[in-house]
């Protein structure tokens, strides 16, 4: 399948989408619903970060959670130990994530395909082990709590979920705008060329390594920022919730289900699956905590068999079919 | 003396790692798929042996055969129903099919059995043979024996039987194998099923000394990946040699490092080998 440029509607549709995302709190939803919406937005941002490299360039990373965790841990540590506002902490987390991405990419981009997936998984596990081991600094496996201050824009803490949502929604719009812009930039074309055939891309004059690195670093920054807001929002992080392989898989899952080759796919996947997951977790009331994840796994299996390019491709196929009939 | 003991333990454990890893490398050699769910098949084998022990007083070393058979069948079904449709597709599908399977199986086990750590009580559980100053733990020794027997059988199968040779032919060059009249689809199915079956067998064999819980596969998958990459993805003999090496490195490292960091060392080895010699220490990928 040839992937075209940005796509998905004209300026009108885009404006409507932006208004819908920002205006969601006006619907007067419950605090719980707004919590779910906030989580959805944050995971969508993190999944967008994965898509830039995993979807656009087909460099399947299994370690995106590392960046999410770095965002969460850096801002929380700076806040808890030295009272640094998470606004600055988030920036520091994003900067560190960018540096880590450069270092990890330096090692991992020598490899392709399965080897790349394997090494990203290993590197992510190494980060998790170190964080768990260095208990005096990071709180180890027990995790870290964010000091509670309640309702301070300066310290990025609010009493109501809808205030967090507005922050998350702004971050989401920024992430989507960046992803859409990249898809249209020369970098987007380079990444698609890498997707199609890395060797051919290199022969055609694409600096493959540079293109991958740029996408990886941009994605790392987005995911780290989502991690910072997530930590503030939930008030608690531990290696399982922000640094684990299952989280890496979950982020890729959102992108793949929505459409990993489009800028809006990660949002579509997260908007579908995060509320579904929350709904199931709350309704089964802890009886069998595994069921939701079983479903996630099965959805992932079904999706790659039916349409590895996700709902986006299914929609495109139908649209093209309708046009052909007209 | 502690060092000698650690070396011996390392070799014994390494033998089991070999058993766990040959399936993974076999599947990669034949199908060019990394089975990320391999650890979960090991976990299923452990639960089968556990249920066999609790329900029918079967020794895990006996239910190992049962685990092999059941997982071989499951593997055939998974290959035909799920893997085959994505084989021609993109890399993303190859990777996330088995990743999705792994998530589903792991959490299915969690829903079914709960998160408890379970173990069986065999009569030989705590016994050990003294060999001079070195003690050989009986459960480890038995597991090592099983691993050796299965590796030998696998070697004979791959080198002496027609079907085994066909499998090596597909691994070397599937197009050429097709042209020579090899039924590649059937070879792939059997290879995948064999990979699953071997993981299941390995799971049963380690139950006398290891706890079973839904995410146990993840502990082993880490080691499996390291082993198969060290040995060269797709290289069965390489995997066996690498498994012994990893067992020894891990066991000796516990003398010098805290156990929490044990896996860090294995991962470091893994990353180093991947970045310096992606084809493995023994070179040549694709040599079954």
DSSP code string of B125-191: TT-EEEETTEEEEHHHHHHHHHHHHHHHHHHHHHHHSHHHHHHHHHHH-HHHHHHTT--HHHHHHHH
The pLDDT score that the predictor gives to residue A100 is 96
**pLDDT tens, B168-201?**
988 888 889 888 888 999 999 999 999 999 999 9
CB spacing of B103 vs A246 below 8 angstroms: yes
**DSSP string over A199-257:** HHHHHTT--HHHHHHHHHHHHHHHHHHHHHHHHHHHSEE-HHHHS-HHHHHHHHHHHHH
A125, B222: Cβ pair inside 8 Å? yes
Residue B207 lies in a domain: yes
Closest partner residue to A260 (CB to CB) among B92, B214, B261 is B92
Cα A134 from Cα A191, distance rounded (Å) = 37
Q: What is the pLDDT of residues A219-262, one digit of tens each?
A: 999 999 999 999 999 999 999 999 999 999 999 999 999 999 99
Structural domain range at position B197: 2-116+136-276
The predicted pLDDT at position A315 comes to 85
* Contact: B100, A299; criterion CB under 8 Å: yes
Specify the pLDDT at position B244: 92
Residue B265 placed within a domain: yes
Contact: B34, A117; criterion CB under 8 Å: yes
A301 shares contact with chain B (CB less than 8 Å): yes
Q: Which two tokens stand for residue B223?
A: 């080691």
- The arithmetic mean of pLDDT across residues A195-208, rounded, is 92
Residues A296, B202, A301, CA angle at the centre, nearest 5°? Answer: 20
Q: How confident is the model at residue A123 (pLDDT cuts 50, 70, 90)?
A: very high
Q: What is the DSSP secondary-structure string of B52-65?
A: HHHHH---HHHHHH
Is B109 in the A-facing interface, judged by CB distances under 8 Å? yes
Rg of the Cα trace of chain A? Answer: 19
Mean pLDDT, chain B, integer: 88
What are the tokens at B214?
A: 């839904």
Distance from C-alpha of A210 to C-alpha of A135, rounded to nearest angstrom: 36
Please say whether the beta carbons of B190 and B167 come within 8 A.
yes
Torsion sign (Cα): A311, A314, A320, A326? negative
Q: Does B233 touch chain A (CB under 8 A)?
A: yes
pLDDT for residue A285 is more than 60 = no
The beta-carbon neighbor of B274 closest among A119, A304, A308 is A119
Residues of chain A with pLDDT > 70, as a percent, come to: 94
Give residues with Cβ within 8 angstroms of A174, minimum separation 6: none
pLDDT > 90: what percent of chain B?
48
Residue of chain A whose Cα is closest to the Cα of B33: A114
- B271 with A299: Cβ contact below 8 A: no
Percent of chain B clearing pLDDT 70 (strictly above): 96
Closest CA to A212 of A54, A20, A27, A46: A54
Specify if B281 maps to a domain: no
Q: Does A304 contact B89 at a Cβ distance shorter than 8 Å?
A: yes
Quote the pLDDT of residue A2.
45
CATH number of the domain to which B175 belongs: 1.10.3470
Q: Give pLDDT, residue A284.
A: 58
Nearest chain B alpha carbon to A107: B275
Residue B111 forms contact with A (CB below 8 Å): yes
Structure tokens at A62: 């299994």
Instruction: Decide: B180 and B67 in contact? Cβ < 8 Å.
Output: no
Domain count, chain B: 1
Q: Bridge-partner residues for A236, per DSSP?
A: A145
* Whole-angstrom distance, CA of residue B104 vs CA of residue B90: 21
CB count within 10 Å of CB B9 equals 21
Amino acid B193: pLDDT: 96
Domain chopping of chain A, boundaries: 20-244
**Mean pLDDT score, A54-83:** 95
Chain A: give the shortest CA distance to residue B111, in Å. 5
Tell me, what's the pLDDT at A3?
47
Residue B229 pLDDT > 80, yes or no?
Answer: yes
Q: How far is CA B94 from CA A294, A301, B98, B100, in A?
A: 19, 10, 7, 10
Q: Which of B221, B215, B206 is nearest to B116 (CA)?
A: B215
For B50-91, write each residue's pLDDT tens digit: 999 999 999 999 999 999 999 999 999 999 999 999 988 888
Mean pLDDT confidence for B222-241: 86
Model confidence band, residue B288 (pLDDT cutoffs 50, 70, 90)? low
pLDDT score at B236? 86
Mean pLDDT of the region B88-104? 90
- Stated length of chain A: 326
Cβ–Cβ pairs < 8 A, chains A and B: 148
Question: Most A CBs within 10 Å: which of B83, B100, B286, as the mutation test of the A interface?
Answer: B100
- Residue A129 pLDDT > 80: yes
């Amino acid at each position: 399948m040839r992937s075209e440029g940005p796509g998905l509607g004209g300026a009108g549709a885009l404006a409507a989408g932006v208004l819908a995302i920002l205006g969601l709190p006006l619907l007067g939803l419950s605090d719980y619903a707004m919590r779910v919406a906030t989580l959805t937005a944050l995971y969508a941002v993190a999944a967008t970060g994965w898509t830039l490299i995993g979807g656009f360039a087909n460099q399947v990373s299994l370690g995106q959670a590392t960046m999410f965790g770095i965002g969460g841990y850096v801002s929380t540590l700076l806040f808890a130990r030295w009272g640094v506002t998470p606004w600055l902490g988030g920036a520091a987390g994003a900067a560190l994530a960018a540096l880590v991405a450069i270092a990890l990419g330096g090692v991992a981009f020598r490899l392709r395909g399965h080897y790349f997936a394997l090494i990203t998984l290993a590197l992510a596990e190494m980060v998790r082990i170190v964080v768990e081991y260095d208990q005096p600094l990071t709180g180890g496996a027990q995790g870290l709590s964010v000091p509670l201050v309640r309702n301070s824009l300066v310290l990025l803490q609010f009493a109501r979920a809808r205030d967090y949502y507005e922050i998350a929604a702004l971050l989401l719009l920024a992430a989507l705008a960046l992803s859409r812009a990249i898809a249209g930039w020369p970098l987007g074309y380079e990444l698609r060329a890498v997707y199609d055939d890395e060797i051919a891309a290199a022969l055609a004059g694409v600096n493959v390594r540079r293109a991958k690195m740029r996408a990886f670093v941009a994605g790392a920054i987005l995911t780290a920022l989502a991690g910072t807001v997530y930590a503030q929002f939930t008030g608690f992080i531990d290696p399982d919730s922000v640094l684990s392989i299952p989280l890496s898989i979950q982020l890729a899952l959102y992108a793949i289900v929505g459409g990993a080759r489009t800028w809006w796919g990660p949002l579509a996947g997260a908007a579908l699956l995060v509320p579904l997951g929350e709904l199931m977790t709350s309704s089964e009331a802890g009886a069998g905590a595994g069921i939701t994840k079983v479903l996630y796994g099965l959805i992932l299996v079904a999706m790659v068999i039916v349409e590895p390019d996700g709902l986006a491709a299914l929609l495109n196929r139908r649209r093209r079919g309708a046009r052909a009939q007209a | 003396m502690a060092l000698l003991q650690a070396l011996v333990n390392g070799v014994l454990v390494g033998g089991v790692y070999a058993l766990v890893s040959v399936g993974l490398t076999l599947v990669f050699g034949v199908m060019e798929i990394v089975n990320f769910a391999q650890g979960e098949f090991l976990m299923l084998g452990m639960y089968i042996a556990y249920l066999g022990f609790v329900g029918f007083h079967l020794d895990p070393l006996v239910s190992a055969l049962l685990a092999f058979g059941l997982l071989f069948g499951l593997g055939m079904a998974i290959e035909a129903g799920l893997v085959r449709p994505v084989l021609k597709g993109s890399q993303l599908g190859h990777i996330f099919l088995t990743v999705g399977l792994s998530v589903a199986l792991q959490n299915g086990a969690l829903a079914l059995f709960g998160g408890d750590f379970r173990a069986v009580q065999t009569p030989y559980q705590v016994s050990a043979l003294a060999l001079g100053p070195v003690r050989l733990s009986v459960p480890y020794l038995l597991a090592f024996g099983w691993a050796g027997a299965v590796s030998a059988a696998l070697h004979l199968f791959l080198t002496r039987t027609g079907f085994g040779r066909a499998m090596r032919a597909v691994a070397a060059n599937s197009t050429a194998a097709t042209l020579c009249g090899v039924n590649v689809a059937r070879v792939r199915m059997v290879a995948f099923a064999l990979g699953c079956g071997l993981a299941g067998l390995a799971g049963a064999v380690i139950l006398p000394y290891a706890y079973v819980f839904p995410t146990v596969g993840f502990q082993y998958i880490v080691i499996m990946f390291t082993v198969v990459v060290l040995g060269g993805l797709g290289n069965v003999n390489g995997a066996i040699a690498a498994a012994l090496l990893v067992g020894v490195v891990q066991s000796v490292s516990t003398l010098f490092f805290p156990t929490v960091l044990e896996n860090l060392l294995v991962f470091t080895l893994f990353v180093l080998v991947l970045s310096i010699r992606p084809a493995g220490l023994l070179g040549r990928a694709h040599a079954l």
